[in-house]
Amino acid sequence: MAAVEIIAGKRKGQALGRKAWLEFADSAASGAWSDSQLAAMLMAIALVGLDERETGWLVEAMAQTGIRISADRFDRPAVDKHSTGGVGDKASLVVAPLASACGLDVPMISGRSLGHTGGTLDKLESIPGFRVTLSIEELIASVREVGCAICSASEEIAPADSVLYSLRDATATVDSIPLICGSILSKKLSEGISGLVLDVKCGSGAVFPRVQQSRDLARALVASGEAAGVSTVAVLSDMDVPLGRTVGNAVEVDEAVDCLKGGGPGDLRELSLELVARMLVSGGVCGEVETGIARAVTALEAGLGMERFERMVEIQGGDPRALTEASGLARPGRELVVRASRGGWICGLDALGIGRAAAILGGGAGGMDDRHAGVRLLAVVGDDVEKGDEVLKLQARDETRLRAAMRVALAAITIGNQPVVSRKTVLGTIEAGSHRGESS
């Protein structure tokens, strides 16, 4: 089919067949379609939408543009976890090694910071020497050796996605659910996994702030994953406030290490255990989520997750000794404390605002500039404070950035006259053909 014919059909609302989606994905990867034609198609998809079958075909077509790892390259059930992106979201750093310690192989292809949301690869690169760029064979070898690896997508993995991703940013089609499914799942299907657990964020710091939008995304991702033969489940989690008590790169690695040592903030621990447990069920290691949580807790408290993380860091070129130094990995040049403007109860710590403050400091989207920059939460929603109490601590090398970030951070803090109860971290789950425990 000709490009113009395919674009016109979708613009008019027609449901396209598998052949058309193969043509679209192949042409994106090969350069057969011009950028203007690809952009027109992306806009048609975003405005008209795709049905469930079309979304599945798009995912499969994008995955087929690159190399797909065979499941038999791994020794144990291969299961991955993916987050739709949030603020302070260092869960992958806990989940991958802990799931590995519990009996899974985890070949995790991850991403970088985008806007106010942090990137797992940027966090890992704050570890001296850590190498996120692995070939497919290096990825497989690392997983076979350690049980887990976290790396960027090589040029051989779903090349159509890298082309379309940059155009989505330029054409304001980033929030199209079918295109999000195509981008996420085309890479995940290439990993050789049999199971996938999705952490779909809801709230101000997420891709979609409203819970219903996040539910729709979760359902589409689960349906497309299942259609491709991968056991897929989505966990809905809160992103109205940052996850944990740190936002940045090195500061988040330090907090993930605390969690792997059995400490860390309760919300990070809760979410990580939930995700690992569902991965264990998806991989057939455990029959029930409760059993999976118990297994994960045992491994966590025995230090097995931390042991795997150190081995992963070492095999990917990093220095594991940097993780256990008493002073931590983060080395802030300057610090600035944000204090409560009045007495009362912390009612809100807006994830979007704090994420933007971290990006200004150089700890979010500017992570390549200052990996030690970031925000520390000294109080959380529900805490009572007096005027002048410390609420946030900002860290960066640059004084100008500290002052600019402080103005943004102040606006993210809401103090009220009445006590409040923070929203649950895990809001519900969505599985194939059903949804359970969803919260509005």
Cα→Cα distances 181→10, 73, 337, Å: 18, 25, 40
Please provide the average confidence, as pLDDT, over all residues in the chain.
93
Q: How far is CA 119 from the centre of its chain?
A: 7
Question: What is the model's pLDDT at position 440?
Answer: 37
Q: Give 88-102 pLDDT, tens digit per residue.
A: 999 999 999 999 999
| CB 244, CB 90: distance < 8 Å | yes
pLDDT at 35: 97
- Sheet of strand 413-416: strand arrangement: 384-385, 344-349, 413-416
Count of beta carbons in the 10 Å neighbourhood of residue 228: 17
pLDDT at 422: 81
Cα dihedral value 169, 174, 179, 184, nearest 10: 90
Percent of the chain with pLDDT over 70: 96
pLDDT class for 116, splitting at 50, 70, 90? confident
Task: Give tens-digit pLDDT for 255-305.
Answer: 999 999 999 999 999 999 999 999 999 999 999 999 999 999 999 999 999
Structure tokens at 283: 């991989």
Residue 174 or 344, more confident = 344
Average pLDDT over residues 110-139: 91
Taking the C-alpha atoms of residue 119 and residue 247, their distance in angstroms, rounded to an integer, is 11
Q: Where are the domains of the chain?
A: 3-63, 71-324, 334-416
At the fourth CATH level, the homologous superfamily of domain 334-416 is: Pyrimidine nucleoside phosphorylase-like, C-terminal domain (3.90.1170.30)
Does 438 score more than 60 pLDDT?
A: no
**pLDDT for 325:** 81
Just list the catalytic residues. 82, 161, 168, 183, 187
Tens of pLDDT, residue by residue over 325-349, are 867 788 878 999 999 999 999 999 9
Q: What is the pLDDT of residue 270?
A: 98
- 365: pLDDT strictly greater than 80: no
Q: What is the mean pLDDT of residues 176-194?
A: 96
Residue 178 confidence (pLDDT) above 80: yes
**Quick check: 130 pLDDT over 70?**
yes
- Whether pLDDT at 367 is above 60: no
Q: For residues 337 and 231, give the distance between their C-alpha atoms in angstroms, rounded to a whole number.
A: 46
Answer whether 71-324 and 334-416 agree in fold.
no
- Does residue 366 carry a pLDDT above 70? no
Nearest alpha-carbon partner for 248 in 309, 328, 313, 305: 328
What does the alpha-carbon distance between residue 356 and residue 217 come to, in Å, rounded to a whole number? 24
The residue-averaged pLDDT of 386-391 equals 97
- Name which CATH class applies to 3-63: mainly alpha
What is residue 77's predicted lDDT score, i.e. its pLDDT?
97
Q: What angle do CA 407, 239, 413 make, to 5 degrees?
A: 30
Which CATH number fits the domain 71-324, given the four candidates 3.40.1030.10, 3.40.50.410, 2.40.128.20, 2.102.10.10?
3.40.1030.10
Cα end-to-end span (Å), the chain: 44
